[in-house]
Each structure stands twice: as structure tokens, then as C-alpha cells.
């Protein structure tokens, strides 16, 4: 969870395919909680971005759902994906290397440089669709095989298919991601379901919702359409509940016409459980940490996180300032912990420091080798 503090950054340009919702986001100021929905610009009524439902919503995926290595052919076609081995994006590497083919060895090649430091950042700009779900599932699968435990989804999306967003969200929830909407980026409509699934959610950009569009509807009356949507929203609420997000988000979506966009304020994002630590995952982590590291560790970790939120996440703080503040706080709360160093806040800095201090040796076999086709995770 501590890797969440890394997620604050500089302003990038918006993607070309961000569509009308992205234009509305760029033009509208952030509303107060009582501000009415922001109207999308002319032309938004013909867009198929947003929150589109065409099929029955998927059931939760099994927790132990490893992929074979003989993967069906797939490519990233609904947006652009890039892989970086740095949590921040304002360094020399920027957003990293492009990832288009989702063949097994293509993903292995893209993630191999991240194996040593144990950190990857997946930057995605585009629509939420089936190929986005494939991207999340396959990158997470290879990251697990390689022991890359710190995973950041750097997201910029105007929305897309609700069913694919929920499938991707369940994969994210099962494989431990931080989801970041950085400054200048957006997360609208169906993208909010992806955002909600992260272990941590860090938001500097704009998040907005509106009503789900039922494209496969056969309804001829308002009553028939509402009956269809009632089933969709019931499954959506179940999804939100299991990810620690308030079901009020689904209720809010019902009230906002799909030709408009309701931007959520910072207070609303926190109130609805969309910003910061995922409450459902935090409960599970606390139970596991208490068993593994003891009650004192959990109490110090909680105190650290409260201090970090109040002292280090001041508005306008840049990435380096947040990092420096967090590292200084660690000393006050006696981290890294001798018994559980890997579970200590900001443990990724300890691993990166060890990597930088270690000499480069061509015959070094201490790191796990990249996975081979046909091998298990």
C-alpha cells in the first residue's frame, strides 16, 4: 500500500481519443459536492464512450485463476499501453516502452527490465474494452511469475464497456494494483469501476459518472428500460460492495443523463471510497499483517499512514516532496521493521536501494529467471 504515495505527477497531454467526455473534463472546473452535473459539449450524444452495457454482467472471477502460457492472440487496439519500471513518469524514461502485442513473450520482454527492481507502471490511455481486460490479466500474470509485486495502473480513460470494466476490475482486485489518475488525466463513466478495484486509488485528475447506456435493450417503454437497468445496477452494486466502494455511486449514476457528466469533487471521492486505501482490501491486509507481523506492527503502520495523509499529501506537493516526507516519517515509526521489512511502508525504496548498491554481474543468478512458455506461475 505504501507505493501509493508515489502517485502524484506532472501534467501530460490528453489522449487524442479521449472523446467528448475528455473535452468536458478539460473545460469544466471541479464542482462542489452540491454542484449539478456538467453538460458534455455538443456532439457527445453520438459518442459510444462512457458506460455502455451490452451483455449480462460477469460474476466475480475465481481468486486462483492462473493463465496457461499458450495464450490466444490479442493486441491492444482500443488505446495505447506503455510499460515503465519507475513509479513516476517525469524521469528520462517517461512512460516507458510501448506494449501492443499481448503474446506471452511480448509481455515477458516488456516486463523483464522491471524484474530487478520489482516495480512496474502500466500507462493506459484509451477506451475500456475487451483488449484492455486482456492487457490487465496478462501483465498481472507475467508480473506474478517474475515476482514484480509493486504494480501501478496509470489510467486515462473516458469510459467504455461496463462488463469489460468489471472483468478488468476483478482481475485488478485479485492481483494487487494501485490505480492512479494523474494530473491532466481523466477517469469517466465505466472507468470508475476500474478505479474502484485498486488496493490504493490516487487521484489528481478528474473523475466523473453518468447513467449506463443499455445498447442491447429491446425496451419500448420507460418501464421496460428501467426493469432492464435494475438488473444491471443490482450487479453493479454487488461489484462496488466487494471493492469497498459506496453503492451510492450506482445511485448517483442513475440520476445523471448519459449526455451529461457529473464530475466528483475530492470530498465526494473520499466519501464514496474511490480515493485512497481500498477499505475492503485494507480489512483483509490488517488481518493478514496481524497474523504475520503482530499487533504492534499494524498499529505503527496505521499511525504512519495517518501521518502521511495529513503531513505529506498537502495540496500542490510534488512527487519528490511526498517521497522525502514519507521516508522521513518512517524513522519516527521505526520502519523498516526488522521482522517484516517487505511489509513496511515504502519497502520498495529499500529494494531499489539494494538494487542500486549491488554490482552488475553478468553471471548473477540470484534473481529469478523470466518464465518460459509452458511453465506454471
C-alpha 4/C-alpha 348 separation (Å) is 11
Helix (H, G, I), strand (E, B) or coil at 356: helix
Residues of the chain scoring pLDDT < 50: 1-48, 62-64, 361, 363-368, 373-377
Say which residues have a Cβ less than 8 Å from residue 112's Cβ, sequence separation at least 6: 146, 370
Unique residue bearing C-alpha cell 490504493: 200
Give the pLDDT confidence score for residue 9 in this predicted structure.
40
pTM metric for this prediction = 0.69
**What's the CA gap between 103 and 129, in Å, rounded?**
18
Give residue 227's pLDDT.
Answer: 78
- The overall longest dimension of the chain from CA atoms, in Å, is 71
Nearest to 57 by CA among 239, 308, 327: 239
Query: What does the radius of gyration of the chain's CA atoms come to, in whole angstroms?
Result: 21
Q: What is the structure's pLDDT at 161?
A: 93
Question: Using CB atoms within 10 A of its CB, is residue 218 exposed (0-12), middle (13-18) or buried (19+)?
Answer: exposed
What pLDDT is attached to residue 75?
97
Q: Angle CA(276)–CA(95)–CA(173) in degrees, nearest 5?
A: 35
Neighbours of 210 (CB within 10 A): 26
| 83: β partners | 97, 122
* pLDDT attached to residue 312: 85
104, 184, 316, 364 from 13: Cα distances, Å: 31, 7, 19, 41
Element (H, E) at 188: strand 186-188
pLDDT at 42: 30
SS3 content of the chain, % helix, strand, coil (to 5): 45, 15, 40
Please name the residue that has the C-alpha cell 491486509.
Answer: 285
Interval 322-374: pLDDT, tens: 888 988 899 999 999 999 998 888 876 665 555 555 555 454 444 445 555 44
- Predicted confidence at residue 126, as pLDDT, reads 97
Q: How far apart are CA 169 and CA 167, in angstroms?
A: 5
Give the Cα separation of 342 and 69 in Å (integer). Answer: 29
What whole-number distance in Å separates Cα of residue 184 and Cα of residue 187? 10
Q: What pLDDT, in 10s, does the model give residues 87-108?
A: 877 666 789 999 999 999 999 9
| Mean pLDDT of all residues belonging to the chain | 79
* Burial grade of 174 (CB within 10 A; 0-12, 13-18, 19 or more): middle
Amino acid at each position: 500500500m505504501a507505493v501509493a504515495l508515489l502517485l502524484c505527477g506532472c501534467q501530460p497531454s490528453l489522449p487524442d481519443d479521449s472523446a467528448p467526455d475528455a473535452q468536458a473534463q478539460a473545460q469544466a472546473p471541479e464542482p462542489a459536492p452540491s454542484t449539478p452535473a456538467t453538460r458534455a459539449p455538443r456532439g457527445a450524444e453520438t459518442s459510444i464512450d462512457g458506460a455502455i452495457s451490452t451483455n449480462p454482467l460477469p460474476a466475480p472471477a475465481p481468486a486462483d485463476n492462473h493463465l496457461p502460457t499458450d495464450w490466444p492472440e490479442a493486441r491492444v487496439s482500443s488505446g495505447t499501453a506503455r510499460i515503465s519500471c519507475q513509479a513516476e513518469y517525469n524521469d528520462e524514461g517517461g512512460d516507458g516502452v510501448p506494449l501492443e502485442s499481448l503474446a506471452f513473450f511480448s509481455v515477458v520482454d516488456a516486463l523483464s527490465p522491471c524484474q530487478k527492481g520489482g516495480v512496474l507502471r502500466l500507462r493506459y490511455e484509451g477506451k475500456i474494452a475487451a483488449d484492455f481486460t486482456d492487457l490487465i490479466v496478462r501483465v498481472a500474470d507475467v508480473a506474478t511469475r517474475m515476482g514484480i509485486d509493486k504494480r501501478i495502473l496509470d489510467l486515462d480513460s473516458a469510459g467504455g464497456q461496463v462488463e469489460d470494466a468489471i472483468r478488468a476490475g476483478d482481475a485488478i482486485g485479485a492481483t494487487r494494483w494501485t490505480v492512479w489518475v494523474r494530473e491532466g488525466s481523466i477517469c469517466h463513466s465505466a472507468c470508475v469501476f476500474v478505479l474502484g478495484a485498486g488496493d490504493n486509488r490516487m487521484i489528481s485528475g478528474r473523475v466523473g459518472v453518468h447513467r449506463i447506456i443499455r445498447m442491447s435493450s429491446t425496451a419500448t417503454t420507460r418501464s421496460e428500460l428501467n426493469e432492464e437497468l435494475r438488473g444491471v445496477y443490482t450487479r453493479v452494486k454487488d461489484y462496488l460492495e466487494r471493492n469497498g466502494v459506496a453503492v451510492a455511486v450506482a445511485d448517483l449514476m442513475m440520476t445523471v443523463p448519459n449526455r451529461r457528466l457529473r464530475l466528483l469533487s475530492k470530498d465526494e471521492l473520499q466519501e464514496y471510497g474511490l480515493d485512497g486505501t481500498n477499505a475492503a482490501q485494507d480489512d483483509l491486509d490488517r488481518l493478514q499483517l496481524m497474523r504475520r507481523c503482530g499487533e504492534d506492527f499494524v498499529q505503527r503502520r496505521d499511525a504512519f499512514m495517518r501521518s502521511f495523509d495529513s503531513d505529506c499529501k498537502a495540496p500542490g506537493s510534488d512527487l519528490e516532496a511526498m517521497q522525502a516526507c514519507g521516508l522521513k516519517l518512517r524513522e519516527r515509526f521505526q520502519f523498516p521493521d526488522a521482522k517484516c521489512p517487505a511489509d513496511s511502508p515504502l519497502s520498495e525504496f529499500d529494494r531499489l536501494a539494494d538494487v542500486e548498491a549491488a554490482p552488475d554481474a553478468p553471471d548473477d543468478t540470484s534473481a529469478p529467471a523470466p518464465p518460459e512458455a509452458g511453465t506454471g506461475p
